[in-house]
Amino acid sequence: MKVILYVFSGTGNTLRVASLYKKYLNAEVTVYRIAKNSPPPPSPDEYDLIGLGYPIHAFSAPEPILKFAKTLPEMQGKRAFVFKSSGEGLHLNDGSSQKLIKILKKKGYDVLFERHFVMPYNMIYRHSDEMAKQMWIYTQAMTALSAREIENGVRRKTKQNIFKKAFTAIFRVIEQPFAHIHGPLFKVDKKKCIDCQRCIKICPQANIKIKDGKFKFGRECVLCMGCSFNCPMDAIHVGFFKFWKVNGSYRLNELEKDENLYFPVVPDKAKRIYRLYKKYYRECDAQLKQANINVADFIK
Ligand SMILES: Cc1cc2nc3c(=O)[nH]c(=O)nc-3n(C[C@H](O)[C@H](O)[C@H](O)COP(=O)(O)O)c2cc1C
């Protein structure tokens, strides 16, 4: 089987999930990053199955993945699935794929299911190392489960209701235009900047330019946070989102091996905000048990 995963990712979480599908699927898997400076995408007709991956932004799928889906050719009956990463497992996120799936179906794609993976936040607040470790270990187990679902031809519909649908639609029409208007408010602190230009290389929207020796942020921004999250000097001001900024990689490959980090924080030590994750992990545990997959096997 040949599979292509078309992925939009700001800070790398969704690309990490894609790399897990590549690891666990018994198939030849190609990962394509949706970005303005990527080469043209391979056509879906060369593949047996396509996957579309994105990070949830304001309870919705970000603009670049929706625009990308609109450029896909019509393909009657081509099998497809959707996967998404987000910082919370709340069911309010459930409506996020609606528009994307609608676009795909209109073009004739046969959408089998969508899968939601909870990964460490790249905005709002930084998850603790223990929590990030748990998220990464469970994401590995859940991707292994999802790969098995694909191989077994599983079909599933995510439960929707009018509330989830409205929530997603309202946030999408506010957040997406706002991101463009807000874009030029991103600024580089020249005192901290070491001119590595990592932000320019990472930006999937090619929105950061240097003009007269100064960094200029344009209106193509989609608030993916790739630039500020990855800045090694934490030198990027993020406009209105100053208090929600998260800077610096979670070093997931190191955290998963750190035996001093308690596992699993949820439910064992879930306090304050982490209590909200109980339902998500309960659901993961139930699905893994049913599939005879042991999450402990994913601990390094
Ligand atoms: C602008 C923005 C909005 C976000 N909105 C949500 C949200 O509504 N729900 C949620 O659970 N996570 C939200 N997140 C967190 C991301 O979905 C999460 O960190 C994701 O794994 C990032 O994936 P990426 O690294 O592939 O970009 C948001 C992040 C950003 C930058």
Give the three-state DSSP class for 251. coil
Confirm whether 148 is domain-assigned: yes
Minimum-distance ligand 1 atom for the alpha carbon of 226: 27
Spacing, Cα 21 to ligand 1 middle (Å): 20
Q: Tell whether the model's pLDDT for residue 208 goes beyond 90.
A: yes
Helix (H) or strand (E) holding 177: helix 162-182
Could you report how far apart the first and last alpha carbons of the chain are, in Å?
29
Residues with CB under 6 A from ligand 1: 9-14, 55-59, 85-88, 93, 119, 121-123, 223-225
Spacing, Cα 122 to ligand 1 middle (Å): 6
Confirm whether 177 is domain-assigned: no
pLDDT of 154-172, one tens digit each? Answer: 999 888 889 888 989 999 9
Cα–Cα distance measured from residue 219 to residue 98, given in angstroms and rounded to the nearest whole number: 26
pLDDT at residue 92 in the model? 87
CA 65 to chain centre: 11
pLDDT at residue 160 in the model? 86
Cα–Cα distance measured from residue 198 to residue 212, given in angstroms and rounded to the nearest whole number: 18
Confirm whether 99 is domain-assigned: yes
Confirm whether 38 is domain-assigned: yes
Domain interval for residue 131: 2-165+277-298
pLDDT at residue 125 in the model? 97
pLDDT of 70-117, one tens digit each? Answer: 999 999 999 999 999 999 998 889 999 999 999 999 999 999 999 999
Q: Tell whether the model's pLDDT for residue 216 goes beyond 90.
A: yes
Q: Tell whether the model's pLDDT for residue 300 goes beyond 90.
A: no
pLDDT at residue 159 in the model? 87
Confirm whether 263 is domain-assigned: no
Out of 31, 56, 142, give the residue to mutate to test ligand 1, the one with the largest number of ligand atoms within 8 Å of its CB: 56
Name the domain count of the chain.
Answer: 1
pLDDT of 252-277, one tens digit each? Answer: 999 999 999 999 999 999 999 999 99
Could you tell me if 143 and 263 are in contact, meaning their C-beta atoms sit under 8 angstroms apart? Answer: no
Spacing, Cα 127 to ligand 1 middle (Å): 13
* 45-49, 72-76, 154-158, 292-296: the lowest-pLDDT one: 154-158
DSSP per-residue codes, 94-149: GGGGHHHHHHHHHTT-EEEEEEEEE---SBSSPPPHHHHHHHHHHHHHHHHHHHHH
Confirm whether 227 is domain-assigned: no
Cα–Cα distance measured from residue 147 to residue 217, given in angstroms and rounded to the nearest whole number: 39
Confirm whether 92 is domain-assigned: yes
Q: How many CB atoms lie within 10 A of CB 125?
A: 12
pLDDT of 274-287, one tens digit each? Answer: 999 999 999 999 99
Q: What is the gyration radius of the CA atoms in the chain, in angstroms?
A: 19
pLDDT at residue 294 in the model? 97
Cis preceding linkage at 73, omega within 30: no
Confirm whether 56 is domain-assigned: yes
Mean pLDDT for 161-184 is 95
Q: What is the CATH number of the domain that holds 26?
A: 3.40.50.360
Whether the predicted model's global pTM rises above the 0.95 cut: yes
